A and B are shown apart, each in its own frame.
Chain A
Amino acid sequence: MNTTRMQTSTPALRIRQACEEGRLLAKKELLQALGECPAAPDASAPSLEQFEEEIRTALAENPDLSIVYGPDGEEFYRCVSLMSATYAEILAGKNMPCLLMAETVRKNSKEYPRPIALDIFEYPPFDLIPESIEACLRHMAATADFDDINFVESSTGTVYLYSTKYLDHDYAAFLAERLDVVLALNP
């Protein structure tokens, strides 16, 4: 690691700062930032390999930092004490909204278990516009990789998504009704 680099521009500090701001730093973004802030004004421009080595060193020396892979394999970094894995996975998947929606649905169906209301994807940190959500739903319906993504409506018409790998339709319907209707009337 180049110890002459300004403390504010080290990979570790940049990763932590981004996480504090609720952002996830992509490798390409970090490399670009490091390139724009050389170790010393008169230093010869380091190579890409040197920057990558610098990042690897930072990750090895700082146990609070870890790598997050997006669904397309893109590399991101997070500070585990400042950003949860769940939140980081969502941010890392934003470039591939259909896959992000599907993986979110699968994880919720498997872990809690619960279906997910469709409108959650309109809110932070997903922030998908309704047109994108609709396009993803059409894409998923037409693509074999998303065969397991299904939907169910509560009695008030709210649409929930679930994965048939983990929930059957009846159970998903029960859980959707509970989330949408029952809890508010069962204080």
Chain B
Amino acid sequence: MAVKYGGWAGQVLRVDLSTGAITKENTIERYMDMLGGTGIGYKVLWEETDAEVKAFDPANKIIFGVGPLAGTGAPCNGRTAVTTIFPVCWPKALTATGHMGGTFAAKLKYAGFDAVIIEGRADKPVWLHICDGQAQLRDARHIWGQGIPRTDQEISREIGPDCSVAAIGQAGENCVPMSVIINARSHSAGGVGAVMGSKNLKAIAVQGSRPVYIAGDKGKWEELINLHLRLLGANNQHVVPSFPSPKSEYYHPGSRWNGAPGKRWGAADPPVQLTDDIYSLNRIAFRTNSAAFFLGDSAWKYTVRGSGCHSCPIRCHTIIKDPGMAAKYGIREIAQNTCSGMNFGRTFFPSLLHDRGDAAREACIMGMYLADDLGIWCNYGQLQRDFIRLYKEGIFKAKLGAEEYASIPWKKCDEGDPTLLMDILPRIAEKRGEFGTVLGLGTGYMLEQWGLDEKLWGADPATAYWKMGHPKHHASEDDGQCGVIINTQYNRDAQCHSHCNFVRNGLPIHEQKRLAEGIWGSPDAVDAVGDYTPVNIHKMKRAKWAILRKELHDSLSLCNWMGPWAASPLKERGYAGDDTLESQLYSLATGHHVSRDECDFIAERIFTLHRALTIRGMNELNMRERHDLCPDWIYTDKNGRPAFSRGTIRMDRADIRSGLDMFYELMGWDKATGAPRRDTYVRLGLGKTAAELDARNLVPKT
């Protein structure tokens, strides 16, 4: 008799756009060993594509995967992993994932599915309607050419407002690699919009009313949810407030827990004053104001409230309202986003990078309005950093024709005039001219197109370029060798927050070291920022832990921008979180009981399959020399300070090599090449993967 599990919806939807065939597969039978999310995505790409498939080939697949916790009551379960052969990855498109929060993940579960596999290419624009176990392709010609909000609105009108629509804008339609998929207004999956566009798929709309069953004891489930809520801090799991509070022993001005009592959501109707019960589980949403974090205290006046993902109390997508700005520029008065999305507009302007006044706010609102309408991706701010460098160094002038160069209002860039964005962003979305076409390719292909040296691009810390067309994502500037090693592992920016959520949590270093000893075996697993010591095995254990938890989150639909919950705001727990939280949630939801280590073992399988995909995609065994690379800027210091001196993020080459040795050893990978050993594949249940790679001489011989 088949075992019944909770958590999963039980079916994966497959849509062949070339033939119109729509089929269903059993999730448990085919994908349970990979949980969901990225796990399903990697498995589909491994089994169903080959190394020669290019991003925009009909043979490429794009997998919208969610996990067994999506749609449950577990906090922070709103993530959808969109896995595909990633068009911005340079010099060759390889497997990578864009992640989006919002409502799509939960709604997909309520519609009856754990994942949607899209393959082929439609012969005309279509959108996919998924509802209560059924799916249908529908004509999208009337919305093709429209921006994302209007697409969402039109589809919602057709099928009802209880849906979640994941759509592309004009950038995705035009196969601009630097494009996104967005649902719920502002929740975007970066770098994958053009793959949808290449398939003539404008949107996927999901709705349904099917339940997500919890297999375990309901009382225990509720207890666990309450514990999880108590362990939450603010955005990025910052566990202390940014302000001194009678209720908190610690505070940290760099914390995103900036909702101090007395602050007001000034643009709410009526305005809302934040209360002083900062630990109340019913006031968690008061803690985070992303607009105020990035734009300063003046943003409170324009704040309506926080918005966010399904079942997440953090609400990090702060909604701001500025009627004056709307009237001045003729745009929508409401905008919402967080992090890079919030900063999208201002970071095109050198004069606004550090500004916290009206001009920066206006540029941010303009950026959100345009980017989330056209569906343009910033590549974690690399688009803007490239833009500024190309402009400052006269490269635009040299590479664009005189007429095209003269047609761009550069003065507006110098003056911080946000209407510059009204000019340059449509050029990118429409692939207009050399400027629009090349900037839309992504950094690696841009450098190649214009004959610029990638090594030189990676020598400048301000450009923050890392490798393969992508920037650093919480590397040595946040977490020394741990951050560096994590940034070597992916085919896009690492998108890993497990490590930086811990080191940025706001606790003093002695508390962090005490917690580190409990989880990674030594207080030396963590350094104070900018006071880095030589690498040690405990740091590399933490690096491995960070990556595995990221993959675990991405496969369960938990948010790695919030988790793992290694620390908490709770003094009575010694500020400890609960490192077994994910395994407990998974076990109770599904009824498949696993320990923390067993859960991490599954995550290791998932990440190792990602490694195998990279090795196959590159047709390269020597990951160490060809893939796990660092830019030169991490080995420099503008003041000439040596590595391991206080006040520098400079790394040491031999030390990083040593760190890779340790990391490979912990992963069961060959030290010489950084490729998983055969016994590692076998241990993880990936023996067939090893055999396929072996046939291509892509498994280490030792």
Q: Residues of A with Cβ closer than 8 Å to B?
A: 19, 22, 82-88, 90, 111-114, 116-117, 120, 123-126, 155-156, 167-168, 170-175, 178-179, 181-187
Q: How far is the CA of A113 from the CA of B528 in the complex (A)?
A: 7
* Residues of chain B within 8 A of A187, CB atoms compared: 294, 338-340, 342-343, 381
Q: How far is the CB of B503 from chain A (nearest CB, A)?
A: 12
Q: Which of B246, B477, B529 interacts with A83 by CB under 8 Å?
A: B246
Q: How far is the CB of A169 from chain B (nearest CB, A)?
A: 9
Q: Which of B247, B477, B509, B530 interacts with A186 by CB under 8 Å?
A: B477
B334-349 to A contact mask, C-beta < 8 Å, 1/0: 0000111011000100
* Residues of chain A within 8 A of B248, CB atoms compared: 84, 86-87
Identify the closest chain B residue to A175 (Cβ): B530
* Residues of chain B within 8 A of A181, CB atoms compared: 354
Q: How far is the CA of A148 from the CA of B36 in the complex (A)?
A: 56
Assess whether B510 is in contact with A22, with CB atoms less than 8 Å apart.
no
Q: How far is the CB of A55 from chain B (nearest CB, A)?
A: 21
Assess whether B508 is in contact with A186, with CB atoms less than 8 Å apart.
no
Known: A111-B510, A117-B253. A171 touches B646 (CB 8 A): yes
Known: A113-B528, A120-B253. A185 touches B245 (CB 8 A): no
Q: Does B252 contact A (CB under 8 A)?
A: yes
Assess whether A84 is in contact with B245, with CB atoms less than 8 Å apart.
yes
* Residues of chain A within 8 A of B294, CB atoms compared: 184, 187
B275-295 to A contact mask, C-beta < 8 Å, 1/0: 010000000000000000110
**Nearest 7 pairs between A and B by C-beta?**
A187-B339, A174-B647, A171-B647, A170-B647, A171-B646, A111-B508, A84-B249
Q: How far is the CB of B624 from chain A (nearest CB, A)?
A: 27
Q: Does B582 contact A (CB under 8 A)?
A: no
| CB-defined A-B contacts under 8 Å, sample of 8 | A86-B251, A87-B244, A111-B509, A114-B253, A167-B646, A179-B254, A184-B294, A184-B354
Identify the closest chain A residue to B648 (Cβ): A174
Q: How far is the CB of B432 from chain A (nearest CB, A)?
A: 29
Q: How far is the CA of A117 from the CA of B242 in the complex (A)?
A: 12
* Residues of chain B within 8 A of A184, CB atoms compared: 293-294, 343, 354
Assess whether A19 is in contact with B477, with CB atoms less than 8 Å apart.
no
Q: How far is the CA of A120 from the CA of B639 in the complex (A)?
A: 29
Q: How far is the CA of A60 from the CA of B243 in the complex (A)?
A: 32
Q: Does B332 contact A (CB under 8 A)?
A: no
Known: A111-B510, A171-B530, A181-B354. A86 touches B477 (CB 8 A): no
* Residues of chain B within 8 A of A186, CB atoms compared: 474, 477-478
Q: Does B353 contact A (CB under 8 A)?
A: yes
Known: A85-B249, A173-B647, A181-B354. A124 touches B293 (CB 8 A): no
Known: A84-B249, A187-B294. A170 touches B353 (CB 8 A): no
Q: How far is the CA of A86 from the CA of B252 in the complex (A)?
A: 12
Q: How far is the CB of A155 from chain B (nearest CB, A)?
A: 8
Q: How far is the CA of A124 from the CA of B246 in the complex (A)?
A: 11
Within residues 307 to 362 of chain B, which ones have a CB less than 8 A from any CB in chain A?
A: 338-340, 342-343, 347, 353-354
Q: How far is the CA of A132 from the CA of B354 in the complex (A)?
A: 28
Known pairs A124-B243, A175-B530, A175-B647; list 18 more (Cβ under 8 Å).
A84-B248, A86-B251, A88-B246, A111-B508, A111-B510, A112-B509, A114-B253, A123-B243, A126-B244, A170-B639, A170-B645, A171-B646, A179-B253, A183-B254, A184-B343, A184-B354, A185-B343, A187-B343
Assess whether A125 is in contact with B647, with CB atoms less than 8 Å apart.
no
Within residues 459 to 518 of chain B, which ones have a CB less than 8 A from any CB in chain A?
A: 474, 477-478, 504, 508-510
* Residues of chain B within 8 A of A117, CB atoms compared: 253
Q: How far is the CB of A112 from chain B (nearest CB, A)?
A: 5
* Residues of chain B within 8 A of A171, CB atoms compared: 530-531, 646-647
Q: How far is the CB of A37 from chain B (nearest CB, A)?
A: 25
* Residues of chain A within 8 A of B504, CB atoms compared: 183
Identify the closest chain A residue to B571 (Cβ): A84
Q: Does B250 contact A (CB under 8 A)?
A: yes
Q: How far is the CA of A111 from the CA of B510 in the complex (A)?
A: 7
Identify the closest chain B residue to A86 (Cβ): B249
Assess whether B509 is in contact with A156, with CB atoms less than 8 Å apart.
no
Q: How far is the CB of B355 from chain A (nearest CB, A)?
A: 9
Identify the closest chain A residue to B342 (Cβ): A187
Assess whether A170 is in contact with B529, with CB atoms less than 8 Å apart.
no
Q: Does B683 contact A (CB under 8 A)?
A: no
Assess whether A112 is in contact with B247, with CB atoms less than 8 Å apart.
no
Q: How far is the CA of A120 from the CA of B254 in the complex (A)?
A: 12
Identify the closest chain A residue to B473 (Cβ): A186
Assess whether A170 is in contact with B646, with CB atoms less than 8 Å apart.
yes
Q: Which of B250, B474, B509 interacts with A86 by CB under 8 Å?
A: B250
Q: Does B696 contact A (CB under 8 A)?
A: no
Q: How far is the CB of A90 from chain B (nearest CB, A)?
A: 6
Assess whether A178 is in contact with B354, with CB atoms less than 8 Å apart.
no
Q: Does B641 contact A (CB under 8 A)?
A: yes
Assess whether A112 is in contact with B478, with CB atoms less than 8 Å apart.
no
Q: Which of A19, A90, A168 interacts with B244 by CB under 8 Å?
A: A90
Q: How far is the CB of A17 from chain B (nearest CB, A)?
A: 13
Assess whether A178 is in contact with B253, with CB atoms less than 8 Å apart.
no
* Residues of chain B within 8 A of A114, CB atoms compared: 252-253
Choose among B478, B530, B648 the residue with the greatest number of A CB atoms under 10 Å from its CB. Answer: B530
* Residues of chain B within 8 A of A85, CB atoms compared: 249
Q: Which of B246, B509, B641 interacts with A19 by CB under 8 Å?
A: B246
